C-alpha cells in the first residue's frame, strides 16, 4: 500500500514537472495552456495521494475547469496566433534559466536538508473529504471564508468595471489602435 502510494507519487511528480517544463518552453501558446492542464491535473493527483480529497476536486473544478478556460479565452480575444512562435521567449532565456535554477537549488537544498528525516504517515491520518473539510471550514475558518467571499465580489466588480471601459475613455493609447477594437461599440452607455 505504501509502496503503491510512493510509486504513484513519483510518477505524478514526474508528469507535473515534465509538463510544466513543456509549458514554459513551448513555442505554441495554445499548447502551453494545454500543458498547464496536464500539470495541474497531476498536482490534483498529488493532492489525492496526500489525503486532501476535497482540495483535489476543487483543484480540478477551479483550475483545470475555470482558470484554463479563462486563459484560453484570453488567448482567443487577444488574437493570439495558433501556430508556432519561436520568438515567444527569445530574449532573456539564459538569465531566466539561471535565476530559476538558483531558486530550485536554494529551495531544494533547504527543504531536503531541513526535512530529510520526516515521513508522512498517511495510514493514520484523516482523509480531507467534503464532510471533514466543510466542517472545519464552517466551524473554525468562517471569518476568513466570509472575508474571502467579499474579496471575490470585489474582484468580480473590478473585472466588470475594467472590461466595460470604452477605448475613448482610456487616456490615450496608440493612435493606430483607436478605432479598431471590435467589441467597443456595443458596451457603451455605462
Q: Which of 11, 82, 84, 120 binds another protein (CB under 8 A)?
A: 120
Q: Is 2 in the site for another protein (CB under 8 A)?
A: yes
DSSP string of 26-37, one letter each residue: -S-HHHHHHHHH
- What is the contact mask toward another protein in residues 16 to 55, using x (rule: CB under 8 A)? xx--xx-xx----x--xx--x--xx--x--xx-xxxx-xx
Contacting another protein within 60-79 (CB under 8 A): 62-63, 66-67, 70-71, 73-75, 77-79
C-alpha cell at 47: 493532492
Q: Which is nearer to another protein, 173 or 188 (CB)?
A: 173
Tell me how far apart the alpha carbons of residues 102 and 96 are, in angstroms, rounded to a whole number.
10
Q: Which residue has the cell 509502496?
A: 3
Q: Which of 84, 156, 187, 188 binds another protein (CB under 8 A)?
A: 156
Q: Which residue has the cell 538569465?
A: 95
| Chain centroid offset of residue 95 CA | 24
- How many residues sit close enough to another protein to count as binding (CB under 8 A)? 100
> Would you call 62 helix, strand, or coil by DSSP?
helix
Residue pair 46/16 in contact (Cβ under 8 Å)? The answer is yes
Contacting another protein within 158-177 (CB under 8 A): 158-159, 162-163, 165, 167, 170-174, 176-177
Q: Is 13 in the site for another protein (CB under 8 A)?
A: yes
- Please report which helix (H) or strand (E) contains residue 142, including its range: helix 142-164
> In whole angstroms, how close is the CB of 78 to another protein at the nearest point?
5
Amino acid at each position: 500500500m505504501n509502496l503503491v502510494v510512493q510509486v504513484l507519487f513519483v510518477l505524478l511528480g514526474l508528469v507535473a514537472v515534465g509538463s510544466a517544463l513543456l509549458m514554459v518552453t513551448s513555442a505554441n501558446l495554445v499548447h502551453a495552456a494545454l500543458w498547464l492542464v496536464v500539470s495541474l491535473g497531476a498536482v490534483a493527483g498529488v493532492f489525492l495521494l496526500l489525503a486532501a480529497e476535497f482540495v483535489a476536486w476543487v483543484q480540478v473544478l477551479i483550475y483545470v475547469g475555470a482558470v484554463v478556460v479563462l486563459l484560453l479565452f484570453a488567448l482567443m480575444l487577444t488574437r493570439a496566433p495558433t501556430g508556432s512562435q519561436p520568438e515567444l521567449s527569445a530574449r532573456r532565456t539564459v538569465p531566466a534559466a539561471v535565476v530559476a535554477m538558483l531558486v530550485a537549488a536554494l529551495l531544494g537544498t533547504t527543504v531536503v536538508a531541513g526535512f530529510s528525516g520526516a515521513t508522512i504517515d498517511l495510514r493514520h491520518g484523516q482523509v480531507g473529504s467534503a464532510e471533514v473539510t466543510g466542517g472545519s471550514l464552517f466551524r473554525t475558518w468562517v471569518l476568513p471564508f466570509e472575508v474571502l467571499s467579499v474579496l471575490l465580489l470585489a474582484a468580480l466588480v473590478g473585472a466588470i468595471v475594467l472590461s466595460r471601459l470604452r477605448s475613448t475613455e482610456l487616456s490615450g493609447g496608440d493612435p493606430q489602435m483607436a478605432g479598431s477594437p471590435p467589441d467597443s461599440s456595443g458596451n457603451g452607455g455605462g
